Amino acid sequence: MKTNGTHILLIRVILFILITLYSLIVFGQPDYDFRNPTLISGTDKQVNAVYRYNNVKSGVNANVTITALTNGITVNNIDSGSGFGEALQPVIDVPGRTSGYLEMKIDFLNTATGEPMQQSEVSLTPLDVDGESYSGNGIYEYDMIKLNNGYADFDMTDGELFMDFPEGWVTGTNMVAINCPGIDTTAKQVMFSVVNESVTSVIIRVGADNHTFSNKQRLRSIYFKKFSYKNAYFASSGNKTNQVGKSEGSLTPE
């Protein structure tokens, strides 16, 4: 009986491990896979440069266009290989005493025809929106996602981001200038998710507010999947919202 009980316990442990690994594989995968871009138009890393990503999803290609670079921000790499290969991960250089961003438009195209292709849902989650302190002066990363028809979700109370909702945008700005080592999907205090529904394109901005006196290089990461959050708060595109807790519409808790 003791031996049988041990065998049963071992089988249960193995099954639990297998189920856990399966969940991580299935539910951790992004909805879109952005890797191996090809410059198809314009000058590399400059405004109006267009990059083609093939097969970001079955039957779907994507063109990523640099639409703006503000306040001296430059692009060091349009898509770094570190972090998550599936994520869109530009590396930006931010001059000292400057706040600015890289803006990109992502157009989804039919792989067969090259025509715009409507996506039922595009989920975007900026990862590792952190910062760093240098002798009392910090750099604070921020990301902005254009919200056309959908909603945003984030940790309302335990996060390290100030969530702001200027007209038509969702902005998450780091408030503490603490660096999170590595890039993963577990540091939800420096993440937020935005879901756009029934769109053929999305617009994102990745930037930083550099309070130091020297140029700082920052790796940004946009992961194409939505996440659930502790103390989650959900804001839809129909609300006229200025900031968390101060809305003219209604912020609906999950």
Which bin fits 126, alpha (ψ -120 to 50), beta or left (φ > 0)?
A: beta
pLDDT mean over 116-145: 97
- pLDDT tens digit sequence for 57-88: 999 999 999 999 999 999 999 999 888 999 99
CB neighbours (10 Å) of residue 77? 15
Q: Pick the residue with more confidence: 17 or 224?
A: 224
Domain co-membership, 127 together with 223 = yes
| Phi (first) and psi of residue 99, to 5 degrees | -125, 125
Domain co-membership, 22 together with 121 = no
Domain co-membership, 72 together with 18 = no
**Residues spanned by the domain of 238:** 32-253
Cβ 32 vs Cβ 10: under 8 Å: no
Domain co-membership, 159 together with 171 = yes
* pLDDT at 169 (0 to 100): 96
Rg (CA), the chain: 20
- pLDDT tens digit sequence for 35-46: 999 999 999 999
Closest Cα to residue 141, out of 127, 124, 155? 127
3-class SS of residue 31: coil
Mean pLDDT is lowest, of 55-59, 117-121, 183-187, 232-236, for 232-236
Instruction: Give 238's pLDDT tier (boundaries 50, 70, 90).
Output: low
Average pLDDT, the chain: 86
Whether the pLDDT of residue 246 is over 50: the answer is no
pTM score, whole prediction: 0.84
Domain co-membership, 228 together with 134 = yes
Q: Pick the residue with more confidence: 171 or 253?
A: 171
Domain co-membership, 170 together with 200 = yes
With tokens 């909702």, the residue in question is 165
Closest Cα to residue 220, out of 122, 89, 97, 103? 89
Whether the pLDDT of residue 207 is over 50: the answer is yes
Domain co-membership, 6 together with 81 = no
* pLDDT at 117 (0 to 100): 98
Domain co-membership, 5 together with 124 = no
Domain co-membership, 124 together with 202 = yes
Domain co-membership, 68 together with 159 = yes
Instruction: Give 240's pLDDT tier (boundaries 50, 70, 90).
Output: very low
Whether the pLDDT of residue 253 is over 80: the answer is no
Instruction: Provide, rounded to the nearest whole percent, the portion of the chain with pLDDT above 90.
Output: 76
Domain co-membership, 15 together with 75 = no
Mean pLDDT is lowest, of 3-12, 106-115, 193-202, 240-249, for 240-249
Q: Residue 24 has what DSSP assignment? A: H
pLDDT mean over 155-184: 95
| Phi (first) and psi of residue 91, to 5 degrees | -110, 125
* pLDDT at 176 (0 to 100): 97
Which bin fits 5, alpha (ψ -120 to 50), beta or left (φ > 0)?
A: alpha
Cβ 34 vs Cβ 16: under 8 Å: no
Domain co-membership, 209 together with 156 = yes
With tokens 């002798």, the residue in question is 135
**Strand pairing category for 137-146 and 131-134:** antiparallel
pLDDT mean over 203-212: 98
* pLDDT at 178 (0 to 100): 97
Number of structural domains, the chain?
Answer: 2
| Phi (first) and psi of residue 6, to 5 degrees | -65, -40
Cβ 154 vs Cβ 127: under 8 Å: no
